[in-house]
Amino acid sequence: MKFKQSEKLYNKGLENLVGAVNSPVRAFASVGGNPLFIDKAKGSKIKDVDGNRYIDMVLSYGPMILGHRHKKVEKAISKALKNGYSFGASTNAEIKLAKIVCDAFPGMDKVRFVNSGTEAVLSAIRLARAHTGNDKIIKFSGCYHGHMDAMLVAAGSGLATLSLPGSKGVPSLAVENTLIAEYNNLESVKKHIEENSDIAAVILEPVTGNMGVVQPSDAFIKGLRELTKEHGVLLICDEVMTGFRSKFGGAQELIGIEADITCLGKVIGGGFPVGAYGASNEIMENVAPLGGMYQAGTLSGNPIAMAAGISTLTELKRQNPYEKFEKIAGKIETILLEGAKKYNVDLTVNKFGSMINPFFAAEEVKNFTDAQKCDTDKFAVFFWEMIKNGVFLPPSQFESWFLCSALSDKDVENFEKAVDAAMKMVAGK
């Protein structure tokens, strides 16, 4: 397999793009080598500029749940394009998509569309502060909530350490109201609540995807919901990644909780830039023009993005592929574990609905500390061998893989062959 055109574009891109990319993970820094440049995609496949075809398990990090260029979504987009690209005014499509989203989430009466997951989170946090009158936010190490200053926080070695900026350019004052807890550790949250009387909200990915797929224990997630209610702290569930991926709606219903505020993105845009945050009438009526919490955006509710979202969710509900996703994820888990066992490679696999990923570790991964113990060098070898054998994966040990409803039995067969070749190489055989 050759990558000459990708290499050529990478070198050309270095001139006017930062690192030749527009998002850091695309730079392949954690796996080595130059990034691949993609030319086109259809269904479950993606093709790079050198003509190499891959089974796509990145799926634009989640939104292409129906596969690429689904005919009904393409038709809806084409129809919307004929009416105009952007109006800076309200459209009927916004109302239609809002109803679909609100109907899918118990307790969500109103939703506000924005343009990204980062926007959804920063707005949700502002809303929580406006509603409660408090300033502090608790987040969990290993949970990513976009690149806003207050969420780019690195946890120290302790469970209740002082917050430290996780990026240059983030002033210490920007994160002084952000407290760090450990995922799946309720005591770390209790400690913060005991020591701080001005906490507005706890934010988490109900099932993580940015330290790899990690599910919450039943005791942790239900205890967290009870704890926040008891102390008048809002619970924000960041379902940008999990929304509509495990069921038609959110992961919350499956794990047995209901958040106060929910953040969404990915699938609800059908591949276009869309984010959203929603909650009960009581909370959402704080948002302008109904209330004093200001948030705005010229391109929010863009008619093309709304058309893509409506079409994607309508087709997703019709297909109801969630049982299929469970079966395929189970097959992939078995393939990975058996391949690792065959070549004596330490591996554990986590999955949830249509999200799955392996960790090159002997022990179960329950939080970010566990995830950081993984052998990232082995993952880098595995990644490139999977690429060479026709499977496109996220270039990071700590990113979830995604399934689409266009995946075929033949794709799974080819995936199995690729895993065998990759595990053999990881083992050095």
Query: CATH number, domain at 416?
Result: 3.90.1150.10
Q: Does the pLDDT value for residue 160 go beyond 90? A: no
Query: Scanning the structure block, which residue is given the tokens 């080595």?
Result: 32
Burial tier of 179 (Cβ tally within 10 Å: 0-12, 13-18, 19+): buried
Q: Does the pLDDT value for residue 71 go beyond 50? A: yes
Closest CA to 145 of 168, 173, 175, 169: 175
217 with 279, same domain? yes
232 Cα distance to chain centroid: 28
Q: What is the pLDDT at residue 11?
A: 97
Distance between CA atoms of 149 and 163, rounded to whole angstroms? 12
Q: Which among 269, 291, 318 is the end of a domain?
A: 318
- Secondary structure of residue 374 in the 3-state scheme: coil
134 with 275, same domain? yes
User: Which residues belong to the active site?
Assistant: 144, 238, 266
* Mean pLDDT computed over 65-82: 98
* Mean pLDDT computed over 24-29: 90
Query: At residue 113, what are phi and psi to the nearest 5 degrees?
Result: -85, 140
383 with 270, same domain? no
The shares of helix, strand and coil residues in the chain, as percent rounded to the nearest 5, are 40, 15, 40
Query: Scanning the structure block, which residue is given the tokens 């929603």?
Result: 278
Query: At residue 249, what are phi and psi to the nearest 5 degrees?
Result: 140, -145
Q: Which among 299, 318, 337 is the end of a domain?
A: 318
Cis peptide before 106 (omega within 30 of 0): no
137 with 271, same domain? yes
281 with 362, same domain? no
305-352 pLDDT, tens digit each: 999 999 999 999 999 999 999 999 999 999 999 999 999 999 999 999
89 with 235, same domain? yes
State the CATH number of the domain containing residue 163.
Answer: 3.40.640.10
Range of the domain at 135: 71-318
Domain count within the chain: 2
Distance between CA atoms of 119 and 265, rounded to whole angstroms? 10
177-206 pLDDT, tens digit each: 999 999 999 999 999 999 999 999 999 999
29-62 pLDDT, tens digit each: 889 999 999 999 999 999 999 999 999 999 999 9
Q: What is the pLDDT at residue 151?
A: 84
33 with 90, same domain? no
Report the percent of the chain where pLDDT is more than 70.
97
Q: Which residues contact 296 (CB under 8 A, 6 or more apart)?
A: 288
Distance between CA atoms of 295 and 137, rounded to whole angstroms? 19
Burial tier of 102 (Cβ tally within 10 Å: 0-12, 13-18, 19+): middle
- Secondary structure of residue 202 in the 3-state scheme: strand
276 with 397, same domain? no
Q: Which among 265, 289, 318 is the end of a domain?
A: 318
246 with 263, same domain? yes
Q: What is the pLDDT at residue 165?
A: 57
Distance between CA atoms of 358 and 332, rounded to whole angstroms? 10
313 with 325, same domain? no
Burial tier of 172 (Cβ tally within 10 Å: 0-12, 13-18, 19+): exposed
- Secondary structure of residue 261 in the 3-state scheme: strand
174 with 215, same domain? yes
Q: Does the pLDDT value for residue 242 go beyond 70? A: yes
337 with 276, same domain? no
